[in-house]
Chain A
Amino acid sequence: MIAKPINNRAWFFVLPVLGFVLFSSIVPTMTVVNYSVQDTMGANNFFWNGDQWFRDLLNPTTAIGQRFNDALFRTLAFSLTCLLVEIPLGIAVALCAPRKGWAVGPALVVVALPMLIPWNVVGTIWQIFTREDIGLFGAALTGLGLPYNVTQEAISAWTTIVVMDVWHWTPLVVLLSYAGLRAIPDAYYQAARIDGASRWAVFSKIELPKLQKVLVIAVLLRFMQTFMIYTEPFVVTGGGPGSATTFLSIDLDKIALGQVDLGNAAAMSLVYYLITLTVCYVFFTIMTQLERRRDV
């Protein structure tokens, strides 16, 4: 055994980071935790409320529980829809993208452009784009006699938000997949030709397995971002019509800042946070474990 020297001075070097994390994350989070176990009658007088906020939130028969359930369901449905569209579409676009020559640069820039636009600008663009009086898209659909109205029609609002997210974030999946595809050595494609593999076999036996790692990252990123989506629906639909596009983040904002219902809002944000964390953790663990188990 080699005796390792113990030197506690190392802790000094961690201190600045610790201080920063404390200031930026831990203190704000603990403030939320603090709110989630207390109630107030105003005038900055707080009293202990135990786990009552959480009980209400997770009980679908209470008003807040019902509201949370609905918003959670909507958000999950939204995330799932976006993932189901964006991941296959992203892979498909990456497969079609040019591999060499002068077209590579322009093609990638054009594909990546939507990602460079700030969230609220995307929202504003689409808010105007889909207006049925002056918006190009909205007016065109209305002109064709389709019942399209983002502010009054739940299905229109929902599809618009999904299409907007697909437009805004499929490029991320495209770029990740494209990078993954470019990393496959030419020899694999040549070997596949020698082996007489069909185009489908090349995709399913070479490209998809080699893309697995980047796709795990893509799914994780897209899940987190869609599950926490706020700005774009807030700008385009404001959560409406009714509460058709009121996702968790928008609902949380209404409860916390609209109704200043700090207890409910704090409990909700903590549960919201834990759901995101759990889903990502479980997904990542399953994917990496599956990979490991398959090798044996």
Chain B
Amino acid sequence: MTSITLDHIAHAYYGKPREDSDYQLKPLNHVWEHGLAYALLGPSGCGKTTLLNIISGLVIPSVGRLLFGERDVTHLPTEQRNIAQVFQFPVIYDTMTVAENLAFPLKNRRLPKPVIEKRVAEIAEMLDLTADLGRRARGLTADAKQKISLGRGLVRSDVSAVLFDEPLTVIDPALKWELRSKLKRVHRALDLLMIYVTHDQIEALTFADKVVVMNDGRAVQIGTPAELFYRPEHTFVGYFIGSPGMNFLPAEVEGARARVAGFDLALGAAYPDLPKGRSVQVGVRPEFVSATAGPGLPAQVRRVADLGRKRLAYVSLAGHPLVATLPNEMESVGDSVNVAIDAVNTHVYVDDIRVAGRAP
């Protein structure tokens, strides 16, 4: 039962870092708790894989300490850490059979033969590989090869964590769902710490107990999928998560009211002492902005997108773009429509960071 602690971990690939922008991974403090499934979510090049490789030891961080439980493993080579990692593209050992591939990490650690056989059979069963165990790994499809890679990651029972680096990229969309739910089941069965890197929000939100959203080398928010949805701590989380992303409008905030595009807007909380001279925005998800026949802010309709399950109206609020949900009972919209904004789910951001309000 070990958790993994990142103690001021930061990394710069090129030379000695002098200032903040030299770091490809900005200083980060976090404890990964045993038994949870985490997702590292962010756009390409945001430092997800770097963070993963630091944990597995393929990259040694420029700054900070990495602890497995109480043990400092910052400079320990990969082989000596109890870690498993699955890569983006399938890595299989060509000359071995599927069973030998799965047994390889155990064999290298000199486990007794019966233990290896039992474990390989278990993992093969979980991943539906039992029928292929005797086959040579090379002739299999990309899907099956990636399942072998996943299997090699899961086969060791003593690991502190299993790390996945966008493991489902090469898999067919239909099979993706199946494999992801399989991974989730495996996670419950094995009670492991799993860290899953992805740039696909659906993948992250369905797989993980907790999601770490990263942008530009920084972890901008760590939270449950619900927290990321209802209370994005950073404007980046707001528009990266959700489709489409959160609406942001420049505003002037006075107490529990905001002035947006010339209109007066009620807020769910009071913000009595916001710092002066900074950029202030209010953010609200399209799910909490609805077009209405009743009272609301008058907006010009630019286009309507019918997503089947729901309809979205792209409107303009005195020149500011805004996405609103069209309620089912509203069958058609004209050129202009009133929009109602849910005050409780409207947040205030100063310099892109969410500010906690006081109960009004």
The closest CB in chain A to the CB of B137 belongs to A295
* Given A209-B94, A210-B94; A194-B56 close (CB under 8 Å): yes
Q: Bound state CA distance, A295 and B139, in angstroms?
A: 5
Query: Out of B89, B95, B108, B149, which one reaches A197, CB within 8 Å?
Result: B108
> Closest chain B residue to A196 by CB distance?
B108
A186 to chain B, nearest CB (A): 9
Could you count the A-B residue pairs with CB atoms below 8 Å apart for me: how many are there? 57
Contact partner of A194 among B78, B93, B96, CB < 8 A?
B78
Report if A194-B83 is in contact (Cβ < 8 Å); known contacts: A187-B91, A205-B96, A295-B138: yes
Q: Name B87's contact: one of A190, A196, A209, A210 (CB within 8 Å).
A: A190
**Residue from A187, A188, A196 in contact with B109 in the complex, judged by beta carbons closer than 8 Å:** A196
- Any chain B CB within 8 A of the CB of A185? yes
Say if the beta carbon of B120 comes within 8 Å of chain A: no
* B58 in contact with A195 (CB, 8 Å): no
Are the C-beta atoms of A190 and B58 separated by less than 8 Å?
A: yes
Find chain B residues with CB under 8 A from A45 CB: none
Q: A190-B58, A193-B78 are in contact. List 13 more A-B contacts (CB 8 A).
A: A185-B89, A185-B91, A187-B88, A187-B89, A187-B91, A191-B85, A191-B87, A193-B77, A194-B105, A194-B153, A196-B108, A210-B94, A295-B136
Distance to closest chain A CB from B95 (angstroms): 5
Complex: A205 Cα to B105 Cα, angstroms: 13
Which residue of chain A has its CB nearest to the CB of B140? A295
Also in contact, A195 and B94, with CB within 8 A (given A185-B89, A190-B58): no
Interface members, chain B 145-169 (any A CB < 8 Å): 149, 152-153
Cβ of A198 under 8 Å from chain B: yes
Contact with A along B52-80 (1 / 0, CB 8 A): 00001110000000000000000001110
Task: Give the complex CA separation of A252 and B77 in angstroms.
Answer: 60
| Binary flags per residue of B277-293, CB closer than 8 Å to A gives 1, else 0 | 00000000000000000
Residue of B nearest to A198 (CB): B108
User: How many angstroms from the CA of A205 to the CA of B103 in the assembled complex?
Assistant: 13
Q: Contact flags (1/0) for A197-230 with B, using CB distance below 8 Å?
A: 1100100011001100000000000000000000
Which of B56, B83, B136, B149 is the one whose CB lies under 8 Å from A294? B136
A residues less than 8 Å from B84 (CB atoms):
194
- CA gap between A195 and B57 in the complex, in Å: 13
Q: List 22 A-B contacts (CB under 8 A).
A: A187-B91, A190-B78, A190-B85, A191-B85, A191-B87, A191-B152, A193-B57, A193-B77, A193-B78, A194-B56, A194-B84, A194-B85, A196-B105, A197-B104, A197-B108, A198-B108, A205-B104, A294-B136, A294-B138, A295-B138, A296-B136, A296-B139
- Interchain CB contact under 8 A, B139 and A206: no
Q: Are A196 and B79 in contact (CB under 8 A)?
A: yes
Contact residues in B for A193 (Cβ distance below 8 Å): 57-58, 77-79
The answer for the CA separation of A39 and B94 in the assembled complex, in Å, is 57
> Inside 8 A of A205's CB, which chain B residues have their CB?
93, 95-96, 104
> Which residues does chain A contribute within 8 Å of B136, judged by CB atoms?
294-296
Main secondary structure of the interface of B (DSSP, over half): mixed
Q: Which residue of A lies closest to B79 (CB)?
A: A196
Are the C-beta atoms of B139 and A195 separated by less than 8 Å? no
Please give, as numbers and ranges, the residues of chain B lying within 8 Å of A195 by CB-CB distance.
104-105, 108, 152
Inter-chain contacts of B85 with A (CB < 8 A): 190-191, 194
The 4 A-B pairs at the shortest CB distance, nearest first, are namely A295-B139, A196-B108, A191-B91, A195-B105
Q: Which residues of B in the span 82-129 have a Cβ within 8 Å of any Cβ on A?
A: 83-85, 87-89, 91, 93-96, 104-105, 108-109
CB-CB < 8 A to B87: which residues of A?
187, 190-191
* In the complex, chain B residues whose CB is within 8 Å of the CB of A296: 136, 139
Bound CA span A296–B78, Å = 34
Contact between chains at B95 and A209 (CB < 8 Å): yes
Residue of A nearest to B89 (CB): A187
Give CA–CA (A233, B56) in the complex, Å: 56
Cβ–Cβ < 8 Å partners of B96 in chain A:
205
